[in-house]
Structure 1
């Protein structure tokens, strides 16, 4: 489908009332002999106004929408304007649930405008407005979905006698576009009608076909618009106070800084964070980790979540590495009568910059650089009380560059490089990789591939024995796959190979290397509803794992899962898996040359979700895992509920319970005086985990809300027997005792973490925010695994609480808006 924009003699008032001349009198506009930029109009209003029924994607794929929609587009030298009348025969039934910015519809009706400004059929900027006036924006394309991307733009909505209307004003600053006489863009509009569970598109998006932007229509008629100078500055001031229960001292920090965005040409944006402030980010969901693998935490710092999708591929970029303490200080630094008073977990972030964008020819570029300062541990003399510092982390430079070229048919190729420099005496690293992602002309079949080379440069003194002295360690990873990705029947097969020396973890995340994984699956997908369901899919597959070095079998697994959405918008998901015969765990023992023999097991689960449109909705999950050999049995339950007390007030709660009975897990390693392994100790343990999450939000207006979040995580670990692990993987009797000098079972654990957060946000001007947050944190860790719930709560509340209060004021300055204001005066 096609639609033309026309030039506006003056910009419309963005108020949700479509009474401006450019919307209400299109015949007058089209009868003009010429516009101010010499663009002739042909007198056909249908060329500039699209009115009719969008095409459903869900629930009735490729059928007409229930209601009509009218859309129009206009433009001037500053912005592109969108007007839409979304007809609805029952305006009182339009869902107007509110939420915070970027919450999507949150149960409300929505309208979406999507622009593929380079018309590559691969990448798009999306702008979403709900019927309550809440804005969301995001990028979508071959690099994935970037919901963290944010821009400043204007919109307004209004419920009227015919349904509801929406107006948008999207400055060219918020887009990237070619420098050409006429702008020819890919375009699509979407509409969500919540009470019908319907999503429909102006240009059809067929659920049976792979891809999204490649199914857009076309926007024409924008003439003689030059890409503007894109320059915004967001200076801020903040104050943070931290106090610990039982202490009269309060740490107070007042700071200021700025975020700068500068457009370089029509394609790229330079983001600079000067004196970054992350005092109001959400607290991590800490856990007691019993596995051999690192826990991956989410990223909540805006600078590292916005516009970084081009970096987030194949685990080569994990932004939490930036600001993390990468070295652990050992007891070798301690002299007699000394102990550590403080060990750093973070390295101070000095500044960060990133350059991102995509050219008219579909060349995407992302460059990121961050510098962290030195961190120091504090050592205290227990007799004199004197303290001294020991450097833990040096000044560190983190760099990443990602380049990808779009190809026809939604395909792409790309290269990436990450580099971490710490200077002499510390490990430096470099990872270089390439990838391709290719589709056939109909987007039915796809093949992809990835190859990466990691290089670690070690300081000479850290290289161990003479025969093992290597200043450089090389490793590689190869990942390839292909299959059918459209239609009812789909299949996929892939192989991933990682050497035992592949290590991207200085700036990436790789849970474990030294592996060969093969995967194959086939699925059956139905997107056309019948009298019972709306859509469903079923999938069966197999996965086999080997150790790369030595080339040894690890495990084999067969599985099936499926999902179905019913006509009442309830949904059900199931999964079931079998791991037959013997498998081997080479990572759990934590020592080279050891493995743990795992006997056959199976597991399965069921998830049920009720209709999320209702005032009260529920999500329930139950699953089990069992291994008959050791009488191991795990059960898991999760219950989540959402109550919409009003259009402005959402209340959410989830509780989960996990009980692992007779689990065989690593306890410790016993070494002799020469630091040689005598025994790897495994234990028979019961592990129970309770997690409670509660969060609620009251939205005063689309620009103001208050949010409260509470999380309690409790894990108990109780050991009953201990075993020696043989190198062949068997468990034998052991005389190991875990009773410490205080008479406690030192491997038993009773671990709690408790967080409360209350935050307030007010967007007092477009892009300008006043925010405040109070955070309360406490935790406890002991060996009292026999405690019940009340005893555990009493123990936890005896610990000192840490309270943090932060206030932040940020003001948004847009060069084009300021220039426009001066020109009017």
Structure 2
């Protein structure tokens, strides 16, 4: 489908009232005979400047006509592109107008969506969404992924009217990237969400049976003489943070200031600079007691590292939490007699960060990110004399990532990513290079994917405490490759893949790889039913097979057969079910934590089901129950999760989720016993009972689309109780041992009673477009003891005896746009 934009010298007032001259039907165009930008308008051409009719559903009734009509028009001038939409509704009182925070999507409200593929490459798009209550969301989506953290400053307004509700949007060219050409043709699509029907429909049909999204857009024509503007914005800020600990009269107060700068380089690229970064108001991590051999991956909440970073987020080469993370914690080997650490650093202060991202008219995407962190030190205290000394931890460190990818026909891409961490001479440096491609056939039915990576770790000569240098400098090389083929469109689909990671492959100085030394084979086939029949609306089901080997030595580790499926019923309740079996013997080479050891894992099986109610209702629930069993050891795990949402009114919603997991007779690693020469004597395993309770509550009160208050509470409790211990043989069997974990205080030192408690209250007010006042109060407390016999009440009583840490931060940020300032000066 095609739509033409109309040039105007009189920008519409963005107020949601469709009385502007440019929107009037028939736009004063039926009698127009004058020339505009060299284009002559005939009397019969007016209809190509607007669309009125039924969109086509993508959900839930794929390819069927939308239940309501919609009218859309597009206009433009030298500053912005303007969109109007009239959402006709035969039941205006049923329009959902629930409020939400910015970037919350449609949520429980009706909404209108406009998407621009400004280069018309059918790859990626800029997407803007406005709900019937006026809440804005924006994102980038397409073959590069989904970037919901991408934010721009633009205008919108909505109004209810007799025919339904109307929306007006003004998007300045500063918020877009576009070619510099006399005439431009953009890909475009409009979407509409009608929440009471759970209906999503599009102006140009987006068929759920076909692969891709942007490749199913229509065209926007009639754009002449648009000049990409100078894109320059500055967001200076001031911030004050106060931290106090219960029981202490000392209060830490930090006042700081800085700025975020965005500069457009040409029409395609944007330079982001964070000067004196401030991350005092990021969400706290959901910390856990980790009993596995693998690192826990935490989410990223720092805006600079979440916005515009999709080009880096491939193949786990970029884990932004590494930037600012302590990499070289001082070793206990540095301690002398009667010494202990008073302070060990956990974070490395960020000095600055810069980021260059963008994509050219010919589809070449480039991303460069560079961050520098400051040095950190540990403090050692002599317990007898009280004297202290400092020892080096992290040096000044430079983190750099370069990503390049080229769009190819048929939604395909090819690219390279390089990450580099440089700590300077005397420290380990690293470099990882990855080449990848993702290819689709002309009909977007089949996919071929491949990647290859080389990791390099450069180890320096070691210098002991006496200053003696040991010539031990060396380089460790590692590699990984992954190949996959799939059928990605139609009712029936399949997936085949192979992944190989050498035992020396390590991207973890800037990336994330839970474990290497693996060869994995994956295969599954899936059936999708997109047409409603009987009691169901749609469903899908899969069956798959996985087989794993160790890379070095190349030995079998595990195989697994699994099935899962999801069914959406016509009342919009849904059921998801899954089951799997790991037949025969499996071998775990990672859990023992020592080279040359493995642990035999006998046959196991599991099953689970999730039931979710209609999420558009005032009250909705989601229930999950699953069970896992290993008969050989009489191991039994059960897991239950209950989530609920209650929408009190359009401004207030209440959300709660509680989960409970009990692992009986679990066999897991406890400790390693070593002799005086640091050689392994025994790897000790334990028979343990693990109970985990997690409670999450969050709520939002939305005063208006520009002001909201959110509250978040999380309590995580894990209790570990060891019954008895075993000696693990190198072959993987467990044998009786005389090992006793009772310490000098009579406590079972491997038992654990771990708690983490967080409360956060956040206020945000967008007092001007892009300018915010935000305040956050955070309360944190937690403890980890050996009192695994506590029940819930005793545990809570003990937890509240711990000192609480309270943090209050207030931040003011002002948004300055060069084009807006320039426009304002001209009016003066």
| TM-score grouping bracket, smaller chain normalisation | over 0.9
Alignment match, 2:247: 246
SS in 1 for 2:28: helix
Q: How far off is 1:822 after superposition?
A: 1.2
Q: 1:655 aligns with which of 658, 661, 665?
A: 658
Q: Equivalents in 2 of 1:205, 1:95: separation in Å?
A: 24
Alignment match, 2:127: 126
Q: How far off is 1:39 after superposition?
A: 3.4
| Contact persistence 1:22–1:29 (CA under 8 A) | no
Q: Equivalents in 2 of 1:407, 1:699: separation in Å?
A: 44
Q: 1:762 aligns with which of 740, 748, 765?
A: 765
Segments ≥4 residues shifted beyond 6 Å: none
Structure 2: which 5+ residue stretches go unaligned?
Answer: none
Q: Equivalents in 1 of 2:253, 2:504: separation in Å?
A: 45
Alignment match, 1:645: 648
Q: How far off is 1:27 after superposition?
A: 3.9
| Contact persistence 1:623–1:637 (CA under 8 A) | yes
Q: Equivalents in 2 of 1:614, 1:546: separation in Å?
A: 47
Q: Equivalents in 1 of 2:333, 2:164: separation in Å?
A: 73
Q: 2:724 aligns with which of 721, 724, 735?
A: 721
Q: 1:70 to 1:99 in 2, by over 3 A?
A: same
Q: How far off is 1:59 after superposition?
A: 1.2
Alignment match, 1:271: 272
Does 1:317 find its partner at 2:318?
yes
- CA RMSD, Structure 1 to Structure 2 (Å): 1.3
Q: Equivalents in 1 of 2:510, 2:423: separation in Å?
A: 13
Q: Equivalents in 1 of 2:59, 2:196: separation in Å?
A: 13
Q: 1:544 to 1:22 in 2, by over 3 A?
A: same
Does 1:551 find its partner at 2:571?
no
SS in 2 for 1:240: strand
Q: Equivalents in 2 of 1:121, 1:258: separation in Å?
A: 35
Q: How far off is 1:654 after superposition?
A: 0.3
Alignment match, 1:733: 736
| Contact persistence 1:232–1:814 (CA under 8 A) | yes
Does 1:39 find its partner at 2:39?
yes
Q: Equivalents in 2 of 1:41, 1:342: separation in Å?
A: 75
Q: Equivalents in 1 of 2:34, 2:228: separation in Å?
A: 23
Q: Equivalents in 1 of 2:732, 2:94: separation in Å?
A: 64
Q: Equivalents in 2 of 1:30, 1:335: separation in Å?
A: 91
| Contact persistence 1:418–1:431 (CA under 8 A) | yes
| Contact persistence 1:88–1:163 (CA under 8 A) | yes
Q: How far off is 1:382 after superposition?
A: 1.9
Alignment match, 1:800: 803
| Contact persistence 1:39–1:223 (CA under 8 A) | no
Alignment match, 2:508: 505
Residues 94-145 of structure 1: per-residue CA shift (max 9 Å, x gap)? 0001000000011100100000000000100000000000000000111111
Alignment match, 1:12: 12
SS in 2 for 1:569: coil
Residues 298-352 of structure 1: per-residue CA shift (max 9 Å, x gap)? 0000000000011001110000000000012112222233211111100000000
Residues 528-558 of structure 1: per-residue CA shift (max 9 Å, x gap)? 1123111110000100000000000000000
| Contact persistence 2:780–2:805 (CA under 8 A) | yes
| Contact persistence 1:7–1:35 (CA under 8 A) | no
Q: Equivalents in 2 of 1:457, 1:654: separation in Å?
A: 46
Q: Equivalents in 2 of 1:255, 1:644: separation in Å?
A: 39
Alignment match, 1:619: 622
Q: How far off is 1:36 after superposition?
A: 5.6
Q: Equivalents in 2 of 1:272, 1:799: separation in Å?
A: 40
Q: Equivalents in 2 of 1:552, 1:483: separation in Å?
A: 27
| Contact persistence 1:618–1:639 (CA under 8 A) | yes
Q: How far off is 1:810 after superposition?
A: 0.1
Q: Equivalents in 1 of 2:313, 2:431: separation in Å?
A: 17
Alignment match, 1:688: 691
Q: 2:635 aligns with which of 632, 635, 644?
A: 632
Alignment match, 2:304: 303
Q: Equivalents in 2 of 1:681, 1:336: separation in Å?
A: 29
Alignment match, 1:282: 283
Q: Equivalents in 2 of 1:468, 1:532: separation in Å?
A: 73
What does 1:355-394 align with in structure 2 at a 5 Å threshold?
Answer: 355-394=356-395
Q: Equivalents in 2 of 1:496, 1:794: separation in Å?
A: 49
SS in 2 for 1:795: helix
What does 1:737-816 align with in structure 2 at a 5 Å threshold?
Answer: 737-816=740-819
What does 1:512-551 align with in structure 2 at a 5 Å threshold?
Answer: 512-551=515-554
Q: Equivalents in 2 of 1:565, 1:247: separation in Å?
A: 55
Count of residue pairs the alignment pairs up: 823
| Contact persistence 1:599–1:629 (CA under 8 A) | yes
| Contact persistence 2:668–2:687 (CA under 8 A) | yes
What does 1:110-149 align with in structure 2 at a 5 Å threshold?
Answer: 110-149=111-150
SS in 1 for 2:40: coil
Does 1:437 find its partner at 2:443?
no
Q: How far off is 1:461 after superposition?
A: 1.8
Q: How far off is 1:220 after superposition?
A: 0.5
SS in 2 for 1:28: coil
Alignment match, 2:591: 588
Q: Equivalents in 2 of 1:369, 1:115: separation in Å?
A: 29
Q: How far off is 1:31 after superposition?
A: 3.5
| Contact persistence 2:242–2:808 (CA under 8 A) | yes
Q: Equivalents in 2 of 1:699, 1:284: separation in Å?
A: 24
Does 1:196 find its partner at 2:197?
yes
Does 1:405 find its partner at 2:368?
no
Residues 418-446 of structure 1: per-residue CA shift (max 9 Å, x gap)? 00000011000000010000000000000
Q: Equivalents in 1 of 2:750, 2:824: separation in Å?
A: 67
Q: How far off is 1:584 after superposition?
A: 0.3
Q: Equivalents in 1 of 2:651, 2:824: separation in Å?
A: 34
| Contact persistence 1:576–1:603 (CA under 8 A) | yes
Structure 1: which 5+ residue stretches go unaligned?
Answer: none
| Contact persistence 1:123–1:142 (CA under 8 A) | yes
Alignment match, 1:24: 24
| Contact persistence 2:462–2:471 (CA under 8 A) | no
Q: Equivalents in 2 of 1:467, 1:574: separation in Å?
A: 58
What does 1:470-485 align with in structure 2 at a 5 Å threshold?
Answer: 471-485=474-488
Q: How far off is 1:821 after superposition?
A: 1.0
Alignment match, 1:92: 93
Q: How far off is 1:376 after superposition?
A: 1.0
Q: Equivalents in 1 of 2:168, 2:57: separation in Å?
A: 23
Q: Equivalents in 2 of 1:66, 1:533: separation in Å?
A: 19
Residues 419-476 of structure 1: per-residue CA shift (max 9 Å, x gap)? 000001100000001000000000000000010000000012289xx99956100000
| Contact persistence 2:577–2:610 (CA under 8 A) | yes
Q: 1:403 to 1:34 in 2, by over 3 A?
A: farther
Residues 637-684 of structure 1: per-residue CA shift (max 9 Å, x gap)? 000000000000010000000000000000000000000000000000
Q: Equivalents in 2 of 1:613, 1:73: separation in Å?
A: 31
| Contact persistence 2:645–2:656 (CA under 8 A) | yes
